[in-house]
Chain A
Amino acid sequence: MKKIALKLFFQLAISLSIGILGYKWGLNFSQALSLSVFILSILGTLFFWDFRLSFAFLGTSLLLLTHTIDLENLIKFSSLEVILFLVGMMVLIGFLKEGGFFAWLVSIILRMRKLTATKFLISISIISALLACAVDEVTSIIFMVVAILEICDYFEVNPSPFVISSVLATNIGSSGTVLGNPIGILIATKSGLTFEDFIFKAFPLMLVSLAVTILIIRFWYHKPLEELDKKIKELGANEILVRLISVPPEKILKVALGIFGLTLCFISLHHRLEIILGLAPNTILLLVPLISSGLVMFWRWKKARAYIEKDVEWWTLLFFLMLFAQSGTLKYTGATDVFARRISALVGHNLIFLTGCLLWLSCFGSSILDNVVLVAAFIPVVQGFASLGFSLRPLWWALLFGACYGGNITLVGSTANIVALGLLEKEKEIRIKFLQWLGIGLIVGIVTTALAWYYLAIIYPKM
């Protein structure tokens, strides 16, 4: 109880102090208040993860009560389009799960023939990254961990190095497309970046970062890999694993695969379709999951309510909604324009330097904070740089790469890390220690962010 009171005291004291400092620094009362409330919500996620929605609700109410923002603008800034996109995707993923799509993927991993430790490492890393690109990092990591646990159980080896490798690859993969992470769609909607932009600008860097990560992991975990190789030789081929599970090829699986394939196809073509149909940027991108989930709920009408009630994570989405509204309030009050002006003066109006600063700041920030929280905080600041004559595109990429790659540094750096380690602890009673993760996490986080830095500073300006 004492610990909770102390944490609460620190949370309030820090938020209040930052607000007062901001006021002294040149912010007006509304700007300082909006900053204090936003910091309160951010610290709420850090100190009281289970109470984050409570802090978000109370903070948003305070902003309305004090006339810091009005209802109309609060709704405008809550990014309903992002929330609806995520609702659509969650329904679709619920349907894919019900159809056996993910179990089918697990069975494919289990069916790997002529297994060697290196082949296993490369396969799980590539599949983790690509699956994160296609669905999202949290959904992807659950199925990857399931497959890894089964394989490690069979060969009687410690699954920890392989689970950690899969998580590292998942976080890197989540930067490859708009679908990989909620921050992808958030950045896309705020910046006007399209799926094609992600494929041409983010995906290749993701692949290079993944290759480098695999090399680092191969070196870092050479002993567990040798152990696995020894066990594979000792226990022979994975005959039981090959036949372990099957997914009946029923109509629902085929329909699930069809709808998912079409969804990915339309999402990848959204920019072209928007031009042809004369629609505003990203309209099709946001609509496709809604159309797909609408069709799913029409076909499976008896289960429609269950998809919405069980598969949509309302707790998380409501938190995002409140958080976006609060970060929007920083923009509404003009606080972020003040930050943008001050930061721009500090970096001497140098875009490359500013990009580097933002990249590293978001990298280290997301190693402690949830990356959605971090990106939501930075978006209005980045938007504020537009009026100062900066080209925003490299800044958006810096935010994306920093927030995704930085998630690898600590074991609380991203939701995928927490979910995977939770499964490992629950199923195998293995608890990964902070420093145990930090060794490999820090190396991978820094090396991949350095790659992104090189890409944004040297290669991107020439593209």
Chain B
Amino acid sequence: MKIKEIMCREVKSLSPEMSVKEAWELLSQMEISGLPVIDKEGKLLGMFTEKDILKKIFPGYLDKVGRFVYEENPKGIKKKVSEFEKLKVKELMRLEVITVDEDTALCEVARIMLTQKVRRIPVLNKEKKVVGIIARQDVLRGLLGDFR
């Protein structure tokens, strides 16, 4: 089975100029953790996820410090949250995005998801435009349906 048979073709996306606040509200409404960022021509610019927001708010050295418990909310974090409305999606989005084309086999997408630890992958056509998106749930649906 090829992923073009099961991928979601109605791709909701974000614009790079959108504010982070708006983008987060959209993610929240859709109850998903991330969306692709696409320009006016439909070309993929990056990926924006809830994790990127958290990474921006919290210091990058958390894992370097080792085990500890936050007993209070640090002042610096409150400050970063307050500055959030000024930020745009393009400032936070991840630029290195794993993509696949429409003719990729379902098992290959599953392999990529497992090895690269990604939840959803944008699907590009030959002109490098986003034509769909495939999530872990789609892969499972395709696999269980295919092998049943």
Contacts and interface: CB of A to CB of B under 8 A. Distances in A.
Interface of A: 96-104, 106-107, 142-143, 145-146, 149-150, 153-154, 240, 243-248, 423, 426-427
B70 A244 contact: yes
A235 to B, nearest CB: 9
Counting chain A CB atoms within 10 Å of each CB, the highest count among B68, B69, B72 belongs to B68
A177 B81 CA distance: 43
B69 A247 contact: yes
B61 A244 contact: no
Contacts, number: 70
Contact of A245 (B61, B64, B70): B70
B68 A153 contact: no
B146 interface: no
Contact of A427 (B60, B67, B75): B60
A102 B61 contact: no
Contacts of A153: 74-76, 79
A246 B148 CA distance: 51
Contact of B72 (A102, A243, A426): A243
A146 B65 CA distance: 8
Contacts of A142: 61, 64-65
Contacts of B60: 423, 426-427
A103 B67 contact: yes
Interface string B39-68: 000000000000000000001110011111
Contact of B65 (A106, A154, A427): A106
Nearest to B79: A153
Interface of A: prevailing SS: helix
B99 to A, nearest CB: 26
User: Which 9 pairs from chain A and chain B are nearest by CB?
Assistant: A153-B76, A103-B68, A97-B66, A100-B67, A245-B68, A243-B71, A103-B65, A240-B72, A244-B72
A247 B75 contact: no
Contacts of A106: 65, 68
Interface in B71-97: 71-72, 74-76, 79
B76 to A, nearest CB: 4
Contacts of A103: 65-68
Nearest to A250: B67
B84 to A, nearest CB: 16
15 contacts: A97-B64, A97-B65, A98-B67, A101-B66, A102-B66, A103-B68, A104-B68, A143-B65, A146-B64, A154-B74, A243-B71, A245-B69, A245-B71, A247-B69, A427-B61
A106 B79 CA distance: 21
Nearest to A104: B68
Nearest to B77: A153
Given A146-B61, A426-B60, A247 B68 contact: yes
Contacts of A248: 67, 69
Contacts of B59: 146, 149, 427
Counting chain A CB atoms within 10 Å of each CB, the highest count among B66, B67, B79 belongs to B66
Nearest to B65: A103
B66 A244 contact: no
Contacts of B64: 97, 142, 146
Interface string B5-40: 000000000000000000000000000000000000
B72 A100 contact: no
B60 to A, nearest CB: 6
Nearest to A95: B66
Contacts of B75: 153-154, 240
Nearest to B60: A426
Given A145-B61, A248-B67, 9 more contacts: A97-B65, A98-B66, A100-B68, A103-B66, A106-B68, A142-B64, A150-B74, A154-B76, A246-B68
A423 B66 CA distance: 16
A119 B6 CA distance: 64
A423 B59 CA distance: 10
A100 B74 contact: no
A252 B14 CA distance: 45
A322 to B, nearest CB: 27
A426 B69 CA distance: 23
Nearest to A97: B66
